[in-house]
Chains A and B, each alone.
Chain A
């Protein structure tokens, strides 16, 4: 796409382990335009964090990486290690989940922020520290002057994450990758950090990739959402489209299985049976098929390709939700009482659950 800041094509990442090749990311492609936010949603093992690290070229050397990552006309994988150093922080930067492990515990907060300003932008020590103070103010830290001389352990979790954000933004990057930036924080602080990221992104015209396991976090914050499962992109769409007309059964299942704050207590949750797959074996069919209410025979043998379902809406499914083939597949499964992968359809609808020793093998 013309004008894209970041273009990822057919990204593949594998790790060779004793058990075999772990295919952590399998053919992920997307574009990100300047100033836009992409939400990447997935569970543990979905490949969302590995994707982020691959974009930054932060993966360990034993990772087997394929595909291309193009940042503003530059091929990230072809970049020399010596140039990479001047790329991180200045062009592209990252905020991680746990603020304590991203900060150096024996260095003062101000010096940690000033360091990147001195290294990348050649500021003098004094200028860099003054700028660090301004940055702390921008990320909403009270008494920024006093904080500069504090150590990370003197700050609360929320303040630490603000410091990490200040560090990430110090050199004015054009892309910020936030990998579960609020998962380790309390709910009241979580909202403040997400709002802060959004405000800063807007003020600086920066692009952002927001990685999370929580669909609620990307709702209203991301322009586009990509749902990942077992290393594959299952569905990608503009955020409002995704929530209004989701096509992938996994997206639908995720939304239905999470308790809502406004639903009365003791509302029975629609479970997703089984658990996320080990990404070691090579799958012929769709990775979600064994847990899917819509699965048909084809799901077991042919991996679905991403197909278009309207403007910017891609979905990889043989029987998408809300389409004739999906409706037909689900009602056929319901009348048969089982899916193509042998999943008991009863468990989705029954009200008072009864223990069923017959399917005790499958679950999480």
Chain B
């Protein structure tokens, strides 16, 4: 699992975001370091949905936050509009310059209720960004814009705009969060487990709404999730992460129908209703995820991997091409592909 490597990057054509060699480390005291994300690269095409899937501690949320520089990564580059004359390197910006770029990236979070200020009214929550960024105070226009976006997410502004978050259900709060994110017309919307806290009967409403918003506002989505079925449903391209590294990258349908990395196969076999492309017995691996403070040498998945051998201990597998737009970081992937090492 290796994650290092850039074979899966796709040139600059129509790319809206490029992340190169992202490293995120946090001090853990006693001179120890948490290696949350280690050398992860990916790019996103304009209008695409990139799914990032993995278990807790794999670094998927940290990666998402590092994109918006909250906090800035330890090392690596995050570039908007790579290869164009609008190219902006977020990781090189500080202070006011970074602030000026922020409206182009917005986030929605897992817990819809705690991500809204309980003391403010829905109109003020959704309109805050507009008030901050308005050239001059134009209350009428902002009001109309807030109403329009609330309607777009399925909230009736005449009823809801003057209420506070506690008067809404979790699903409605998530709609309000989406309204707050899209009101500034961002280019990229980062969704960090947006449906994990919702009831199953409400989940589909929000997933459908995200698709709808994507079309309506021309958004590019980064969708972080742990539910493999949900991630496949919304994504064009999927990255599987484990312990701060990328295991496998590919088009959603290609990756799910021909999973090559042993960890991807374990995930697919562990789902309550396992995928038809793997055998249920492939879920039989150890439960213990190694500490990110002391990740295994070589391939980080080797301690739980049924195929690991000495080579996996000493040599870190680098992402390599398996197929058209399907990349894997493993010495012994399942599908027949060109031997990369």
Contacts and interface: CB of A to CB of B under 8 A. Distances in A.
Interface of A: 43-44, 156, 158-159, 186-192, 213-214, 216-217, 219, 253-254, 257-273, 275-276, 291, 352-357, 359-361, 363-364
B204 A257 contact: yes
27 contacts: A156-B289, A187-B228, A187-B271, A188-B267, A188-B270, A188-B283, A188-B285, A189-B287, A190-B272, A191-B283, A216-B271, A259-B204, A261-B229, A261-B256, A261-B274, A261-B275, A262-B275, A263-B233, A265-B234, A265-B235, A266-B233, A272-B201, A272-B204, A275-B172, A275-B202, A360-B155, A364-B206
Q: Which of B153, B172, B203, B212 has the most CB of A within 10 A?
A: B203
Contact of A275 (B201, B252, B275): B201
A265 B170 CA distance: 25
A258 B229 contact: yes
A264 B235 CA distance: 10
Contact of B207 (A187, A190, A219, A269): A269
B288 interface: yes
B222 to A, nearest CB: 15
Q: Which of B172, B202, B256, B268 has the most CB of A within 10 A?
A: B202
Contacts of A253: 201
Nearest to B147: A357
B200 interface: yes
Contacts of B208: 268-269, 271, 353
Q: Which of A258, A264, A269, A364 has the most CB of B within 10 A?
A: A364
B162 interface: no
Contacts of B226: 186-187
A267 B235 CA distance: 10
Contacts of B209: 353
Interface in B247-281: 252-253, 256, 266-277
A295 B226 CA distance: 35
By secondary structure, the A interface counts as loop
B285 to A, nearest CB: 7
A216 B211 contact: no
A269 B208 CA distance: 7
A364 B202 contact: yes
A111 B216 CA distance: 59
A43 to B, nearest CB: 4
B151 A187 contact: no
A156 B304 CA distance: 15
B261 to A, nearest CB: 14
Contacts of A275: 169, 171-172, 199, 201-202
Contacts of A260: 229, 273
A361 B226 CA distance: 30
B199 A213 contact: yes
Contact of B156 (A190, A263, A360): A360
B236 interface: yes
Given A355-B151, A357-B156, A262 B202 contact: no
B175 interface: yes
B200 A186 contact: no
B300 interface: no
Interface string B145-184: 0000001111110010000000001111001000000000
A47 to B, nearest CB: 14
4 closest Cβ pairs, A-B complex: A364-B171, A216-B272, A364-B202, A360-B156
B151 A261 contact: no
Nearest to A141: B287
B198 A364 contact: yes
A259 B270 contact: no
A187 B267 contact: yes
A213 B271 CA distance: 14
B117 interface: no
Nearest to A359: B154
Contacts of A258: 200, 203-204, 229
A239 to B, nearest CB: 13
Contacts of B55: 186-188
B175 to A, nearest CB: 7
A259 B171 CA distance: 17
A270 to B, nearest CB: 7
A356 B289 CA distance: 46
A264 B275 CA distance: 12
Given A43-B200, A259-B232, A353-B212, A265 B253 contact: yes
